Amino acid sequence: MRKTLWDHLPPRQYLAAQEQHLVRYIRELVYPFSPYYHELFDYNRIKPVVIQTLRNLSCIPFTTKADIAPLPEKPEIPFNLVLQPDRERISSRRSLRLKHRLMRITQGKRAYGEFLDREFLPVHYHFTVGRTALPTPILYTRYDLLRLREAGRRIFELAGLSREDMVVNAFPFAPHLAFWMTYYATEEVGIPALHTGGGRILGTQRILEALERLSATVLTATPSYAYHLLRMAAREGRDLSRLKTLVLGGDRLPPGLKGKILELLEKLGAERPAVISTYGFTEGRVAWSECREAALSREESSGYHLFPDMEIIEIIDPESGNRLAEGEEGEIVYTCLDWRGSVLLRFRTGDLVKGGITYEPCPYCGRSLPRLGLEINRSSDYKEFELTKLKGTLVDLNAFYPLLSGHKDVLEWQLEIRKHNDDPYDLDELYLHISPSEGVSKKYLERELYELLQKEVEVAPTRIVFHSLPRLLQRLGLETKGREKRFLDMRPDALREKAREESQEKSGDVQAPDTDQIRLGMEEEKGEGEE
């Protein structure tokens, strides 16, 4: 597998190249061809020429999820992020006019038309998870898919994989980033792979059989499902001794859960296994990972290695919006570089990262890539549950995840919020559903969890309900749903329920873009007329 050559450059060199790339990208592609940002720049009286350094990014307003989500009456909103070249906009910029005229002369009109299609025509869609609004499409052109493949190759390089490996991809089959990035990464590197689609498609038993019969060395999955697979494998006495690498994504990987996964791998006979965590979001187009050396160290991770030629990451104060210095905790803001499909500038993820971003070389692998801190509060995961009031206390429900997933005596768990007697005006109740480890005293575990949650979250559960593992897995939908139902809000809020039901009813009615309209501008460029 070929190696990345630029990942040992000093920061001053790749930051200078990144700055030049950003200036050219905004002036030559984003402002002329993005309907959304062309209008945004003009409305805020921003001239592209003022973007001369990375610091000048701060003059561009933030883009939020609400800005790009489709509305029932305006389903075309997300498609305005796609770069859409047409003759008028190309003709208005001298550098582009000369470049495109020369390309038409030297390559011919047919080849030039194929170039425009390859660069700018969307051919692949991903969707954000539509919990509180219509699902938002993120579009890729063929040019973008080449970049997705390259980003996947780099993650496999960071993970220390080679063509001698065998990958079993257990991410759920869906129009989401994790499954498809793994798919394209294995193709790019040339690693043999079985893309199972997860438990919902192939089924857990068949995935376990594939891991054993194919002597798989690599498993890619969500942390919860990987833990479930390994737990079943250990119970059935399967031989997964060749499984040496887990690349986990789609959800957080608390240290406690990572420890439980490593313990299972060692029971299954794996030698020096590496459990590698990744971070990504659909709007970011790619995912980022920690390096194998950090995963093997069993010490504090050095964080997620970024790709400075594909994106710019800022860390801001979530309250003021001001950019923070290196190493400071804040919200992650994403700007894409050199993408053609859904282009985003200064996109607020809502995710908070401890330790911010650092430009010091990785203490484990020596790469000089910028790195994000490993501990990220994925507010985008459970946005509608991020903060809620329970028993008069404002609680971040995401705080339950590391406490319960990492607990040595808890196999699985689910949190349910409800009202006493289903009365909307009565007290909040918090039901904690638990599947305990075998042989653990229920009275001991009940007391332990009450004390732990009261101390760490300041809210004790109203009731702890114990379940068998199969029963709780059924409640979670771990093998039947694309994403486990870790939190349930059963409070009878009529307005919230009505809005949720309306969004669910219409989630299947998201209209595709008018590709004829997108293609129209390209066809004008392919035509016989001159500028």
Q: What is the DSSP string of 60-86?
A: SPPB-HHHHS-BTTBTTGGGGGB----
pLDDT band at 129 (very low <50, low <70, confident <90, very high): low
Decide if 424 is inside a domain.
yes
Q: Residue 447 sits in which domain range?
A: 384-507
First to last CA, the chain: 45
Name the pLDDT band for 525 (thresholds 50, 70, 90).
very low
Q: Region 21-31: what's the mean pLDDT? A: 93
Look at residue 218 and tell me whether its pLDDT is greater than 50: yes
Annotate 389-402 with b (16+ C-beta within 10 A) or e (fewer): ebeeeebebbebbb
Q: How many domains does the chain have?
A: 1
Report the pLDDT value the prediction gives residue 114, as an integer from 0 to 100: 76
Three-point CA angle 436, 438, 440, nearest 5°: 65
Is 85 in contact with 120 (CB distance < 8 Å)? yes
Strand, helix or coil at 442?
helix
Per the CB < 8 A criterion, the answer to whether 61 and 40 are in contact is: yes
| Per-residue pLDDT tens digits for 342-372 | 999 999 999 999 999 999 999 999 999 999 9
CATH number of 456's domain: 3.30.300.30
pLDDT at 523 over 50: no
Using a cut of 0.85, tell me whether the model's pTM lies above it: no
CB 467 within 8 A of CB 434: yes
- Angle at the Cα of 473 (from 411 to 498), degrees rounded to 5? 120
Of 216-220, 224-228, 245-249, 483-487, minimum mean pLDDT range: 483-487
Q: Is residue 523 part of a domain?
A: no
Per the prediction, the chain carries an average pLDDT of 84
Measure the CA–CA gap between 146 and 119, rounded to whole angstroms.
Answer: 10
- C-alpha 402/C-alpha 452 separation (Å) is 12
Q: Residue 401: its pLDDT value, please?
A: 82
Averaged pLDDT for residues 490-511? 45
The confidence score (pLDDT) of residue 504 equals 40
More confident: 386 or 302: 302
Query: Would you say residue 397 has pLDDT above 80?
Result: no
| Bridge partners (DSSP) listed for residue 219 | 168, 246
Chain length of the chain: 531
Answer whether residue 449 is part of any domain. yes
**Strand runs labelled E in 128-221:** 137-141, 167-169, 193-195, 218-221
- 8 A C-beta contact, residue 382 and residue 453: no
- Cα gap 399→457, rounded to integer Å: 7
**Which of 9-13, 99-103, 186-190 shows the highest mean pLDDT?**
186-190
* Contact between 398 and 415 (Cβ < 8 Å): no
More confident residue, 517 or 116: 116
Nearest Cα to Cα of residue 488 among 403, 394, 406, 413: 413
| Residue 448 covered by a domain | yes
Domain membership of residue 6 (yes or no) is: no
Q: Compute the C-alpha angle 131/38/109, nearest 5°.
A: 105
Q: What is the pLDDT of residues 228-283, one digit of tens each?
A: 999 999 999 999 999 999 999 988 888 889 999 999 999 999 999 999 999 999 99
> pLDDT, tens digit, for every residue of 88-121?
555 555 555 556 666 666 776 676 667 778 889 9
pLDDT tens digits for range 131-147 = 445 789 999 999 999 99
Instruction: Name 410's bridge partners.
Output: 436
- Within 13 Å, how many C-alpha atoms sit on residue 100's CB side? 25
Model pLDDT, residue 195:
97
pLDDT value of residue 508: 39
- Residue 408 CB: number of other CB atoms within 10 A? 10
Q: What band does 488 get if pLDDT is binned at 50, 70 and 90?
A: confident
The pLDDT confidence band at residue 389, using thresholds 50, 70 and 90, is: low
Ordered strands of the 287-289 beta sheet? 193-195, 167-169, 218-221, 245-248, 274-280, 287-289, 304-305, 371-372, 357-358
Write down the pLDDT at residue 181: 96
CB 230 within 8 A of CB 199: no
The pLDDT tens digits of the residues spanning 278-301 come to: 999 999 999 999 999 999 987 888
Q: So what's the pLDDT on residue 379? A: 57
Taking only the tens place, the pLDDT of each residue in 429-482 is 889 999 998 888 999 999 999 888 888 877 788 899 999 988 998 888 877 766
Please tell me the predicted confidence (pLDDT) of residue 144.
96
516 sits in which H/E element: helix 515-526
- Looking at residue 8, its pLDDT comes to 82
In the predicted model, is pLDDT for residue 521 greater than 80?
no
Q: Which two structure tokens, joined as six digits, stand for 182?
A: 């793994």
Identify residue 506 by its one-letter amino acid code.
K
Is the pLDDT confidence value at 492 over 50? yes
Phi-psi region of 90 (alpha: psi -120 to 50; beta: other; left: phi over 0): alpha
User: Does residue 463 belong to any structural domain of this protein?
Assistant: yes
Q: Per the domain annotation, does 413 fall within a domain?
A: yes
Of 510 and 454, more confident:
454
Are 189 and 138 within 8 A, CB to CB?
Answer: no
